[in-house]
Amino acid sequence: MTYVVTDNCIACKYTDCVEVCPVDCFYEGENMLVIHPDECIDCGVCEPECPADAIRPDTEPDMENWVEFNRKYSEAWPVIITKKDELPEAKERDGETGKLEKYFSEAPGEGG
């Protein structure tokens, strides 16, 4: 099992999760985070820290695509280990549907 970040992180990018991760397996894109599935130790401490409820175990239904999505971008984006402010539109975008198609950016974040 591993944990993955899903589309509700897009356009929110809360970073509460990165502070509690014991293995630093979060990676930062321009407008979301991902978890490297091979580095995640399945401890689960990040899941309750996410205000947007965007972190899910891969054992939930239909998570296969999110595992590959997280793998792809964690190999392209910089690691993030420090909490930062969420995106300005986070509260208004939290829970919105269709965020992957509407807002996702492949651009890397700053990391740090």
Instruction: Look up the CATH number of the domain holding residue 13.
Output: 3.30.70.20
- Contact, 6 vs 33, CB < 8 A? no
Flag whether 97 is in a domain.
no
Mean pLDDT taken over the chain:
97
**Which residues 6+ apart lie within 8 Å of 82 measured at CB?**
15, 18, 19, 112
For residue 1, pLDDT beyond 90: no
Flag whether 20 is in a domain.
yes
For residue 53, pLDDT beyond 90: yes
Flag whether 91 is in a domain.
no
**Which residues 6+ apart lie within 8 Å of 48 measured at CB?**
none
Pairing of strands 55-57, 3-5: antiparallel
Flag whether 22 is in a domain.
yes
Flag whether 88 is in a domain.
no
pTM of the model: 0.96
CA distance 95 to 79: 25
Instruction: Domain count for the chain, please give it.
Output: 1
**Which residues 6+ apart lie within 8 Å of 19 measured at CB?**
49, 81, 82, 83
**Residue range(s) defining the domain that contains residue 68:** 3-82
Flag whether 108 is in a domain.
no
Q: What is the dihedral of CA 94, 87, 107, 51, to 10 degrees?
A: -50
Flag whether 90 is in a domain.
no
For residue 107, pLDDT beyond 90: yes
Using DSSP's 3-state secondary structure scheme, residue 44 falls into coil
Residue with tokens 């972190």: 55
Flag whether 89 is in a domain.
no
